[in-house]
Amino acid sequence: MPVDVTCPRCDAELAVTSLISGEQGPPYTTCGQCDLTFLFDFTGLDPAGTSSAVEYAPSVRIEGYRLIGVLARGGMGYVYSAVNEEDGQLIALKVLPPRVANWPPLVARFDREIRLMRSVRHPNIMEVFGAGLTESGRFLAMPFYPGKTLKARMMNNAPLSLTEVRAILRPLGEGLDQLHRSAILHRDLKPGNILLTAMGTIVLCDFGVACELDRRGDLTQAELSIGTPAYVAPEVYERGEMTPLSDLFSLAVVTYQMLTGVLALGVFERPSETCPGLPKESENALLIALHHHPHRRYDTVGDFIRAFCRPLRGLCDDGIADADIIAEASLPSIDILETADSNSVVGRANQTSKTIKTLLAKMGLGA
């Protein structure tokens, strides 16, 4: 039976006949007028087949956070945009729903994710604002970053420019290097877990399968096999061997994909065939990081980044800061910007400011 719902952005009256609920997360729908995906209150409604959504019925609030919309769905639950009702701050809230919130394997992974994220402080690593357990499930509160993932940036499979690749790689490598210095492995480095923010920063996120170097032996056989196959180092799936060099291999796969637009499955042709402007020294550095045997790769992520980026001096646009390049790359593919001088650093800064304000306004939150 249809349910009457009002869109919180454009006030359109929607007759919702199909709901995503209960088994997957709180009920939400997408407005056909303004394309906003949002959650809504089920209180007092009893549509057929949605009774399990009553778990989330009380005004879609979780421990002082008001849910706004769905940002992503992962293996352990949903990530929502939300507002902290105490200070009005816009955040991202990762929720492990009640149906799995007490299942030991997932609880252990969720708690480990929180512990590891709290143990590392770095501008290129996602931080934690808070965490807890309520009737609505376990939750993890994080900063909300307007922008897009690297996966979304590469959606059309077009290679990125050398300037953009370098701008992304340098801060990403710094964050991953810090993670390794803290004796932590990410284990799922891929474009979908790399955020390009409108503020001009790169943020490495999703530590759902991360682990401490000295506790690798605690992982179950099933946990050892977790990861996205195309980005997993050979030694991981061949021998269950995990080291910082495994993360380095994943980073090299991402770099290869940025340069060529190709997600290679274990066979890496010379990237200069697709990216003719790539210096020989940078190409060799990338192929070393992609070597099948970990002991033939660089010793650290930092060593690889330096070897890859050093030959790019003079070939990239050195007059534009990495942050401005990243901010521009994070822009949504919609016509929301009008800047008089979009090619200047000042113009790019204005674009970034307008992007943040526009994105917040589109969520009905002002700026």
pLDDT per residue as tens digits for the range 272-304: 998 989 999 999 999 999 999 999 999 999 999
**pLDDT, position 47:** 30
Q: Residues 290-322, buried b or exposed e (16+ Cβ, 10 A)? A: bbeebeebbebbbbbbebbbebbeeebeeebeb
Beta strands (DSSP E) in the chain are: 3-6, 13-16, 28-30, 37-39, 61-62, 65-74, 77-84, 90-96, 130-134, 137-143, 147-149, 184-185, 194-197, 202-204, 211-212
pLDDT of residue 161: 93
pLDDT confidence band for 156 (50 / 70 / 90): confident
Going by pLDDT thresholds of 50, 70 and 90, the confidence category of residue 341 is very low
Please give the average per-residue pLDDT across 142-151, as a whole number.
92
What 8-state DSSP symbol labels residue 36? Answer: -
User: Distance between CA atoms of 78 and 199, rounded to whole angstroms?
Assistant: 24
pLDDT reported for residue 61: 80
* CA 305 to each of CA 35, 255, 312: distance values in angstroms, whole numbers, following the listed order: 40, 10, 11
CB distance 316 to 166 below 8 Å: yes
Which is more confident, 158 or 122?
Answer: 122
Greater model confidence, 28 or 245: 245
- Indicate the range of 58-67, 76-85, 213-222, 320-329 predicted with least confidence: 213-222
Residue-level pLDDT at 225: 53
Confidence of residue 202 (pLDDT cuts 50, 70, 90): very high
Tokens of 26: 């709180």
| Mean pLDDT score of the chain | 77
Span 115-125, average pLDDT: 93
Question: Of the residues 4, 87, 188, 318, which is catalytic?
Answer: 188
pLDDT above 70 for 271: yes
The pLDDT, as a whole number, for residue 316 is 83
- Tell me, what's the pLDDT at 22? 36
Q: For residue 134, what pLDDT is reported?
A: 79
Confidence of residue 171 (pLDDT cuts 50, 70, 90): very high
Residue 294 pLDDT? 96
C-beta of residue 278 within 8 angstroms of C-beta of residue 323? no
Comparing 21-25, 201-205, 247-251, which segment has the lowest mean pLDDT?
21-25
pLDDT of residue 229: 86
Mean pLDDT for 133-160 is 87
**Average pLDDT, stretch 342-362?**
41
Q: 105 pLDDT band (50/70/90 cuts)? A: confident
Per residue, what are the HEC states of 270-291? CHHHCCCCCCHHHHHHHHHHCC
pLDDT score at 31:
65
pLDDT at 205: 93
Q: What's the pLDDT band for 48 if we cut at 50, 70, 90?
A: very low
For the chain, which domains are there?
147-312 (1.10.510.10)
Residue 333 Cα to chain centre, angstroms: 18
User: Could you tell me which residue, 360 or 191, shows the higher pLDDT?
Assistant: 191
Active site residue 188: yes
Q: What percentage of the chain has pLDDT greater than the value 90?
A: 40
pLDDT of residue 104: 80
Task: Report the pLDDT value the prediction gives residue 255, as an integer from 0 to 100.
Answer: 97
Say which residue, 228 or 51, is predicted with more confidence. Answer: 228
Distance CA 6, CA 22 (A): 21
Contact 176, 186 (CB under 8 A): yes
- pLDDT, tens only, 206-263: 888 888 887 655 555 555 556 678 999 999 888 888 899 999 999 999 999 999 999 9
Most confidently predicted of 98-112, 156-170, 297-311 = 297-311
